[in-house]
């Protein structure tokens, strides 16, 4: 089950965190993985890990906020069976503290970036008779989170983009879904704690972990496992859906 043999998967933001976990798992399941990331060194390290384990992958530098960068990154890919729009950035602030520059920065990556990548693969997917698009959303699109004004706005857009893509291309055999994680323990979290709470990292990590009803953060591998299901043929009846993977955050608070 969940074999991706003979399939090519393009994964954005795959140089670390959730994207890396998805890339490694997809390669393990037989896919050739295009590892796209703004940081080419990190993408190359992921590819080295994949190839050392016997998998197939290629590292590509890509700034998804720029359409020309996406076009160049995908120019050497003959066929895209799976696109995982994972790359994104965060922001902390309210409507009162969020600047125009903050809004533009998040919109350019989290919304336009997703559009650039999706737009680049759709024609090929239509021509080949189908494909899978998986968007990384957030529980921020489903519930109010304190001081996540701009971030929540962009993830709300991702949710609606998912529904629109699924609706518009269902007849062409293209499935589109999104995953809505709660807090996930990634290098971003560790970096945020070190920068914001120096000397209090362990205390704040425990506090953030306890904010989920289940009592801990998710692991990147757990998000990757759900991504694998949704991108596999076993999920061939699933489209236009948003999947919370949240330790009970949405419904058990």
Query: Tokens for 111?
Result: 């919304």
Pull the structure tokens for residue 24.
Answer: 């490694």
pLDDT at 123: 97
What pLDDT is stored for residue 188 in this prediction? 86
* pTM score above 0.85: yes
41 within 8 A of 142, measured Cβ to Cβ: no
pLDDT score, position 93: 96
The tens place of each residue's pLDDT in the chain, 253 residues long, gives 999 999 999 999 999 999 999 999 999 999 999 999 999 999 999 999 999 999 999 999 999 999 999 999 999 999 999 999 999 999 999 999 999 999 999 999 999 999 999 999 999 999 999 999 999 999 999 999 999 999 999 999 999 999 999 999 999 999 999 999 999 999 889 998 998 899 999 999 999 999 899 999 999 999 999 999 999 999 999 999 999 999 999 999 7
Is 229 considered catalytic here? Answer: no
Report whether 218 contacts 247 (CB < 8 A): yes
User: And the tokens for 3?
Assistant: 């074999």
Rounded Cα distance between 201 and 193, Å, is 5
Number of C-alpha atoms within 13 angstroms, CB side, residue 242?
Answer: 23
C-beta of residue 151 within 8 angstroms of C-beta of residue 93:
no
Q: Kindly report the CA angle at 238 between 232 and 242, in degrees rounded to 5?
A: 105
Q: What pLDDT, on a 0 to 100 scale, did the predictor assign at position 133?
A: 99
Give CA–CA dist 24/227, Å, rounded: 12
Which residues make beta-bridge pairs with 134? 84, 177
- Burial of residue 41, with CB atoms counted within 10 A of its CB: 0-12 exposed, 13-18 middle, 19 or more buried: exposed
Distance, CA of 55 to chain centre: 21
Domains and CATH numbers, the chain: 8-182+219-245 (3.40.50.720), 184-217 (no CATH)
Q: Among residues 107, 149, 151, 163, which one is catalytic? A: 151
């Amino acid at each position: 089950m969940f074999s991706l043999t003979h399939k090519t998967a393009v994964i954005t933001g795959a140089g670390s965190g959730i994207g890396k976990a998805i890339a490694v798992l997809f390669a393990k399941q037989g896919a050739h993985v295009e590892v796209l990331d703004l940081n080419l060194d990190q993408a190359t390290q992921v590819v080295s890990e994949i190839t050392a384990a016997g998998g197939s992958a290629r590292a590509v530098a890509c700034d998804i906020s720029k359409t020309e960068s996406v076009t160049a990154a995908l120019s050497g890919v003959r066929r895209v069976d799976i696109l995982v729009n994972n790359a994104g950035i965060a922001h902390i602030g309210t409507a009162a503290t969020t600047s125009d520059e903050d809004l533009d920065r998040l919109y350019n990556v989290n919304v336009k970036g997703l559009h650039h990548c999706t737009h680049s693969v759709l024609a090929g997917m239509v021509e080949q008779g189908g494909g899978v698009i998986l968007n990384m959303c957030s529980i921020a699109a489903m519930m109010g989170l304190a001081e996540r004004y701009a971030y929540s706005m962009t993830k709300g857009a991702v949710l609606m983009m998912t529904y629109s893509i699924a609706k518009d291309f269902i007849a062409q055999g293209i499935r589109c879904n999104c995953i809505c994680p709660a807090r996930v323990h990634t290098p971003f979290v560790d970096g945020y704690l070190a920068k914001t709470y120096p000397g209090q990292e362990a205390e704040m990590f425990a506090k953030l972990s306890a904010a989920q009803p289940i009592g801990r953060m998710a692991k990147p591998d757990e998000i990757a496992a759900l991504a694998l299901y949704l991108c596999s043929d076993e999920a061939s009846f699933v489209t236009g859906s948003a999947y919370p993977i949240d330790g009970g955050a949405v419904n058990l608070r």
